Amino acid sequence: MHILHLDSAITADASVSRQLTADIMAKLTAQGTPTVTYRDLNEGVPAIDTTWFQAVRVGTDSPTPEQQDRIATSDALLAEVQAADVIVIGLPVYNFAIPAQLKNWLDQIARAGVTFRYTADGPEGLLTGKRAIIAYTAAGTPMGSDLDYASGYLRHMLGFMGITDVTFVPADGLAFDREAGMARAQAALDQIAA
């Protein structure tokens, strides 16, 4: 088994999502020694731009050094996802949505013809057979509420690329009742099979 472990919180050691992804990883690795790739998205994932679009989406026979850099970055992020059987994602909710660095990661890997394609029957995800486990944390945004623009979006994007086996470990409402929020997360974590 190959696990891709992604963190995106900006709060360093105070991060609940980082704590939960570590707990998820401990559970997944307790019964064996899988290959693990770790990436801290907070260390920087470039936003896509016109240079990225021209290099990656349009393609060119003789890319400039700047375009080659964009291609290499996107290809490296994509290769990590393609190699993974399980993807563990830390999803702290900021301003009711996913962190910018997690959005940048999704933009880098959502590549037509590689992770999805359009068919006569509609879009088809190409990253099938993978499992995602998401540590959802929020101070005041209940998961699944009308205020939650994060969990549904992330589930949709993963599904659009073919990852439909998605499990959430939610620790929400932490600003109001941290103990109850952490208890909800622990209950979800207890249900995860290694």
Q: How far are the Cα atoms of 7, 87, 91, 119, 122 from residue 164, in angstroms, in the given order?
A: 20, 12, 17, 18, 16
Query: CA nearest 131: which of 53, 17, 24, 51?
Result: 24
pLDDT confidence bin for 81, thresholds 50/70/90: very high
- Using CA atoms, how far apart are residues 55 and 67, in angstroms rounded to an integer? 5
Write down the pLDDT at residue 80: 98
Q: Kindly state the average pLDDT of the residues 48-69.
A: 87
Q: Kindly state the average pLDDT of the residues 15-42.
A: 94
* All domains in the chain, ordered by first residue: 2-190 (3.40.50.360)
**Is residue 58 scored above 80 in pLDDT?**
no
Flag whether 17 is marked binding: yes
Mean pLDDT of the chain: 94
Flag whether 145 is marked binding: no
Count of positions (residues) in the chain = 194
DSSP 12: G
Residue type, 154: L
pTM value surpassing 0.85: yes
Write down the pLDDT at residue 32: 85
Flag whether 88 is marked binding: no
Cβ neighbours of residue 116 closer than 8 Å, sequence gap 6 or more = 110, 123, 124, 125, 126, 160, 161, 162
Report pLDDT digits (tens) over 136-191: 999 999 999 999 999 999 999 999 999 999 999 999 999 999 999 999 999 999 99
| The residue to which tokens 């990656």 are assigned | 56
